[in-house]
Structure 1
Amino acid sequence: MIDHMTLHVSDANRSIEFYTKALAPLGYLPKAHHEPTIGFGVDDGTPRSDFYVSPAQPGTTPAPTHIAFRADSEQTVKAFYDAALAAGGSDNGAPGPRAYHPGYYAAFVLDPDGNNIEAVVDWPHQSTSGGSTD
């Protein structure tokens, strides 16, 4: 089980602005302020964060990473995708079902550093149209 992760970025302020907007539909907000590192977590009344954005070491370029955030519905996946694009992300796969296994519905956006950020409803779930997707 993963407790938290840190994504190293080339421009912390730019990435914090991007993630503040892109992750809002998933219920994430900036919570832990360990300047210049910012921790994001769900709005649950605690300071607990599980996703951190931190500057890369000076003189280094962070390697692109793939991170998937769980969404609670297909509508939330679509809202993430729209918010991430509006925040300056680039399309890397519009919202829709994926052939990975039944019930996998996701959207992919590249963040300002080229990281592949995904929002996903995984395994059998109810689609927003009311029908089962499994």
Structure 2
Amino acid sequence: MFDHVKFGVSDYSASRAFYLQALAPLGVKAGAEGSPAYGIELFVDGHVSTLCLFQTDEKPAHLHLAFVAQTREQVDAFHRAALAAGGADNGPPGLRPNYHANYYAAFVTDPDGHNIEAVCHAPGA
């Protein structure tokens, strides 16, 4: 749906480490990277969309990013990895039937307080 999303972070090193570790279970990898002011592109093999982070002193509004997970196990692994990377729990893995019957998601907050989600829309095994 998008080519790339780029947003500023207050501590580039901490956010870079957080996103690489938290999103690894979803297949996300580091791509092009420059100085902290340029930032880093994060991507998944075979997809053209990227998520870009860069260092800034500006105070951006909180952001909600939802990442696609192919399985519920990936959602669980994302949540564990994000907590291990220093994220804070913002909703443990589980069904969210208020969205739809198979909406399985987990939520964490990143080092800047952004709401980061992994979601699987597939029915359970």
TM-score (norm 2): 0.91
Residue 74 of structure 1 pairs with residue 76 of structure 2? no
What is the match of residue 83 of structure 2?
Answer: 85
**Deviations along 1:113-132, whole A, 9 cap, x unmatched?**
0000000012xx231xx2xx
Gaps of 5+ in 1: none
Q: Secondary structure at 1:69's aligned position in 2?
A: strand
Counterpart residue number, 2:17: 17
- Count of aligned pairs: 122
Tell me what 2:45 maps to: 43
Q: Specify the code of the residue in structure 1 equivalent to 2:16.
A: I
What is the alpha-carbon root mean square deviation over aligned residues? 1.5
Residue 61 of structure 1: how far off its partner (Å) = 1.5
1:62-92: CA deviation from partner (whole Å, max 9, x where unpaired): 2210000000000000000000000000000
Deviations 1:25-47 (A, max 9, x none): 00001111132200000134x9x
CA shift for structure 1 position 49: 5.5
Q: Runs in 1 of length 4+ with deviation above 2 angstroms?
A: none
Residues in 1 aligned to 2:30 and 2:113: alpha-carbon distance in whole angstroms: 21
Amino acid at match of 1:16: R
SS of structure 1 residue aligned to 2:94:
strand
SS at match of 1:22: helix
Q: What's the counterpart of residue 59 of structure 2? A: 61
How many angstroms does 1:2 deviate by?
1.1
Give the aligned partner of residue 26 of structure 1.
Answer: 26
Q: Displacement of 1:102 after TM fit?
A: 2.0
Partner-residue secondary structure (3-state), 1:117: strand
* Letter of the structure 2 residue corresponding to residue 18 of structure 1: F
